[in-house]
């Protein structure tokens, strides 16, 4: 029997549900905007769609599973492991999508003339598929054996407990901290984040060099191109910064858990770190809306066409505009 939900758990569940209610519609709106707006069909925005799909899954799948884990039901070991792994898959998918976006922005400013011939829709689709394949391999590694099953079985044998192996489902109960720190963080989270930092620094350096070079010339088109690239690069770098800000605290806590077992981490810090990781999925649509004009235009178009304007078969364009006003 599951124990009754405490007031603290009820507050936790309420916040998680609120995050999901913001994240899922917001990221569906991002996908919708790219689908309906031809101006959002280049490779960068395809990678943004991949990121949005992961964020939708966080709100629709990971958050409900996190609530289940927080309640702590009694389950079999591998059932609990299956509940814990999706967040690992989606985190890695987000990181690789951000890395693909960073590489794409670098190519746009490094080889603007050859960019369209090199970064084709087919190649972008292959890159996205590879990102998701790697994400599943990394996220499902605990299912292949790098987990706490042997440790828990040894503990049960030492305690002389011969009953059926059923556990209270918690993330740290089934997921190995060695996996989380040495493999997940030190191999698949931290290096890509550092690589993206260097890529964006190089992107900004290249753009500023081009802008300074064109200031003395009479050509306005390159100036306009690199000025637009600078604005988009700043917005996408902000997305990366928010991702790192949201996920690093939880990984730091995991490092403390592994390297200092005697250290007592306040539960409130753990919950704040979890809220940050889940809340990151709701941040990106807000950044796009305020920072990228193409998205803002598409969002307004969707709002006016599907939510604001109530047209009838006999309604004219003038009538529609008046209804919106």
pLDDT tier at 315, thresholds 50, 70, 90 = very low
pTM: 0.89
Per-residue pLDDT, 225:
84
**pLDDT for residue 201:** 95
Confidence band for 49, pLDDT divided at 50, 70 and 90: very high
Confidence of residue 313 (pLDDT cuts 50, 70, 90): very low
Which two three-digit tokens encode residue 59?
Answer: 């709100």
* CA separation for the pair 123, 129 (Å, rounded): 10
Query: What does the pLDDT read at residue 155?
Result: 79
Q: Name the residue ranges covered by the structural domains of the chain.
A: 7-323
Helical (H) or strand (E) element with 89: helix 77-110
Report d(CA 168, CA 2) in Å as an integer: 9
* Tens-place pLDDT, residues 242-263: 999 999 999 999 999 999 999 9
Q: What average pLDDT score do residues 215-232 get? A: 72
Say if residues 286 and 279 touch (Cβ distance below 8 Å).
Answer: no
Label residue 319 by pLDDT band (50, 70, 90): very low
Q: How far apart are CA 221 and CA 180, in angstroms?
A: 48
Q: How far apart are CA 215 and CA 222, in angstroms?
A: 10
Residues 114, 78 contacting (CB under 8 angstroms): no
Summarised one tens digit per residue, pLDDT across range 143-183 is 999 999 998 888 777 766 655 678 889 999 999 999 999 99
- The mean pLDDT of 207-236, rounded to a whole number, is 78
| Whole-number percent of the chain with pLDDT over 70 | 89
pLDDT at 41 over 60: yes
Confidence label for 307 from pLDDT (cuts 50, 70 and 90): confident
Average pLDDT, integer, range 18-34: 95
Tell whether the model's pLDDT for residue 113 goes beyond 60.
yes
CATH no., domain 7-323? 1.20.1070.10
Tell me what the mean pLDDT of segment 126-154 comes to: 94
Q: Distance between CA 132 and CA 46 in Å, rounded? A: 13
């Amino acid at each position: 029997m599951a124990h009754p939900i405490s007031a603290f758990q009820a507050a936790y569940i309420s916040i998680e549900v609120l995050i999901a209610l913001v994240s899922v519609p917001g990221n569906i709106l991002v996908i919708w905007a790219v689908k309906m707006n031809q101006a959002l069909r280049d490779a960068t925005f395809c990678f943004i769609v991949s990121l949005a799909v992961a964020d939708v899954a966080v709100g629709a799948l990971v958050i409900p599973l996190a609530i289940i884990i927080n309640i702590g039901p009694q389950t079999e070991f591998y059932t609990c492991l299956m509940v814990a792994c999706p967040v690992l898959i989606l985190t890695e998918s987000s990181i690789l999508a951000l890395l693909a976006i960073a590489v794409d922005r670098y190519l746009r400013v490094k080889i603007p003339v050859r960019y369209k011939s090199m970064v084709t829709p087919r190649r972008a689709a292959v890159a996205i598929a590879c990102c998701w394949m790697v994400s599943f391999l990394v996220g499902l590694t605990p299912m292949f054996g790098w987990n706490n099953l042997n440790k828990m079985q040894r503990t049960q044998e030492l305690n002389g407990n011969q009953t059926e192996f059923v556990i209270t489902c918690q993330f740290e109960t089934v997921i190995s901290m060695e996996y989380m720190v040495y493999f997940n963080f030190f191999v698949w989270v931290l290096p890509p984040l550092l690589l993206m930092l260097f890529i964006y620094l190089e992107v900004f350096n290249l753009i500023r060099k081009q802008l300074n070079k064109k200031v003395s010339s009479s050509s306005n088109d390159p100036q306009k191109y690199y000025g637009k690239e600078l604005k988009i690069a700043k917005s996408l770098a902000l997305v990366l910064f928010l991702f790192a800000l949201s996920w690093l605290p939880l990984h730091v806590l995991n490092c403390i858990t592994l390297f200092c077992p005697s250290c007592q981490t306040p539960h409130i810090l753990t919950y704040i770190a979890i809220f940050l990781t889940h809340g990151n999925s709701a941040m990106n649509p807000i950044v796009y809306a305020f920072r990228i004009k193409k998205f803002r235009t598409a969002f307004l178009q969707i709002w006016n066409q599907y939510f604001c304007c109530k047209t009838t078969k006999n309604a004219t364009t003038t009538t529609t505009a008046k209804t919106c006003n």
